Amino acid sequence: MTIGQATERVAIVTGGSGGIGGAVARRLAADGMTVVVHYAGSAARAQEVVESITATGGIAIALRGDVADAAEMEQLFDTVQERFGGVDVVVNTAGIMLLAPVAEMDLDAFDRMQRVNVRGTFVVSQQAARRLRPGGALINFSTSITRLQAPAYAAYAATKGAVEAMTLILAREMRGRDVTVNAVAPGPTATPLFLDGKSAEQVDRLAAAPPLERLGTPEDIAESVAFLAGPGRWVNGQVVFTNGGIG
């Protein structure tokens, strides 16, 4: 099938060049979806995800954009509409995590997280709310830290608390559209974003915390997304904690 032909289902994965985003893109492609791998600055990594999908017979393209820029996201959705005929699944994995105790948090860092994690999720969710076809799904990303209340995570958790609020309200606003809106809240997951700056001792301690006694993998998280994007049609307006039972 060539680009431009109609396909059964089309998915946009923001942050698709990242660890979890890439796993989500590959997993949705394995379910037969055409996947748009969105990226902000990692063109080479996004292309690697695309190539890993096309190598197994899937259809994928990479598109760049700033998730917090309304014009750029509108253009991205327009491009997807023109090339594939519509959008059925939107997954918002794009996000940044900057850690510090409240007393020490740099407010510029706080504002950067608010822009990407809150405004970015809102901008993409707004496009999804306008464009998702019946039977579609929007999956945003929160974090299990909203339950665990770990020190140094206050600013990050605050952005994800906002994501949960907008997700749950949007699910109710989509009444009558046959579109589900949910959030996935991963626990400690072995991605570069999570592992950066942590000692081996810290990683081992976090890995031992869940009853399953290991860190999550990006593929673990992608399975929850695939369920919500596909067969999980009766799950709506929920935050799905995908964390091995840590809390």
- Tell me which residues are annotated as active site: 156
Between CA 128 and CA 16 the distance in angstroms is 16
Between CA 228 and CA 181 the distance in angstroms is 9
Between CA 224 and CA 230 the distance in angstroms is 10
- With residue 56 as reference, give the H or E element that holds it: none
Alpha helices in the chain (DSSP H): 19-30, 43-54, 70-84, 107-113, 120-131, 145-148, 154-173, 192-195, 200-208, 218-229
Q: Strands of 87-92's sheet, edge to edge?
A: 60-64, 34-39, 10-14, 87-92, 132-141, 180-186, 239-242
User: Distance of CA 239 to CAs 43, 165, 168, 224, Å?
Assistant: 30, 10, 8, 11
Between CA 128 and CA 131 the distance in angstroms is 5
Between CA 15 and CA 22 the distance in angstroms is 8
Residue 144 contacts residue 241 (beta carbons within 8 Å): yes
Quick one: tokens of 25? 């893109």
